[in-house]
Structure 1
Amino acid sequence: MNLKIMKFRMKILVLIVFIIAAFGVLNVCNTLYKKANVVKVTVPEGYTYEEVGKSLQNAGLVTQKDFINEVENWSDNNYWFLKGVPNDKHKLDGFLFPATYSFQKDATSKVIISKMLETFEFNMKSNKDYITKNKLNIRNVVIEASLVEKEAAKDIDRAKIASVIQNRLAIKMPLQIDATIIYIIGDKKKLYNKDLAVKSPYNTYLNKGLPPSPICNPGTKSINAAVHPAKTNYIFYVLNSKTNEHVFAKTYAQHIKNVAKYIK
């Protein structure tokens, strides 16, 4: 073989090896850069979108203000569960799925919201067919789940609290859920009669039926409870602060006894 040709081929081979090596180095650097610029953030069950925004800001991602603005002006309806949801600032309430996420430091609010909605969709796979088959209103399911999320102290109570909500709705009785009052006025250790009288569509003491939108973003367990509530005749419940579990009653007379026993 011609010596010049051999030298040329050798140069080509060396060049190819150099390119492959350089590409490998760049790929490794790019991977390391991405890992170094990943931010993990945990969104707990029961957060409002304002609280989610604050968590994202504290984690060094987007500002709370920017996140809230993106949530309240969301326009992407390419999700089955957003069909028919009123197009207002509460549109995404209940659908920003609580979980631990990993985002690039430069992720936008839109990217973050899209990921949360995709995660909600993924976690609803097991319930979607049931919801569709039984013609359940997904927004109402999530509203109920948000009430369960805020009321239930332990998992054992979730399905039973959901049953109370369903039973009260069936007899057109006000839900009288304290969590809706706290949603209106802010967190308080104790609620007074004046708090229960605050005028708001979210006040379930003054208004019958469900509040107009979820009061938080519920987790899977609360959503499952809302989709499959326990079959009970319970109408009332009160928290046993010693066990952190609720005590349920079918009658008002029994409820009064429970209140006297467990509320000191």
Structure 2
Amino acid sequence: MKKRQRKVRLIRAAIQLVFFIFYPALFSTAFAGVKSVFQAIAAHQQITWNSFLDITGLLLLVTILFGRHFCGYACAFGSLGDAMYELTVFIRQKVFHKKGRHGYPEKAVRILQKVKYILLAFLLLSILTGWYASLQGMSPWDVFSMLTARKLPNVSYKIGIILLVLILIGMCTQERFFCQFLCPMGAVFAMMPILPSALFNRNREKCPSKCGLCRKRCPAHLEIDGDTPLSGECICCHACQVTCPRKNIQIGPKIKNQTNEKKN
């Protein structure tokens, strides 16, 4: 099982590195598409298609068809979060001799996951009211985009720089801290209707008694069932799938109950 976990981690890390190097601004470009729609509404103008909406539309379509694999594999900010968290895990194990993975209690994760929806609503409302312009320099993802483009943000971005540093600290304390709790585009993705064929499913009857490894390993503490109301929070990191000792988790239609079929 460890060999399988290592293989999946390496493949995922390689894909993340490619997107981080060549397409680091995809997630901010996608949100720029959402922003352009609300700016047109605020200005009482006709919504016109633009290059930002090309990216937004493509990523929304990918999410509907395949789940939030963009979040799990292609988002540069998410990849940065993974790197920060894994570095912290390594330091804890090698320096402080603490085993296992750290993070917040499930109840706290559930509450904090709602913050990104509040943040999304706040940003969209600020656009509609014309207040968004006064937020310039406060965006941590704008600062991140500048840094990945090899541009140093000037003093007008000091609040954005401070917020980015605080987010980086948060990334060290909880796996996918920004993606789960603060990403406004993540909130949009989480609200998308995802096709059942793109969700993780398992056959509970094949699960070992009192196992729960998939839930413990999931950074969002999700139950691995396609009909869960929290399925939108799944970032498709595949951690549950590679952790399952019986390979009992798959993406696709719900696994049929083989036991009941044999009885019938």
State TM-score, norm by structure 2.
0.23
Task: Select the structure of larger CA radius of gyration.
Answer: 1
Which has the larger share of strand?
Answer: 1
1 or 2 for the larger relative contact order (CA 8 Å, sep ≥6)?
2
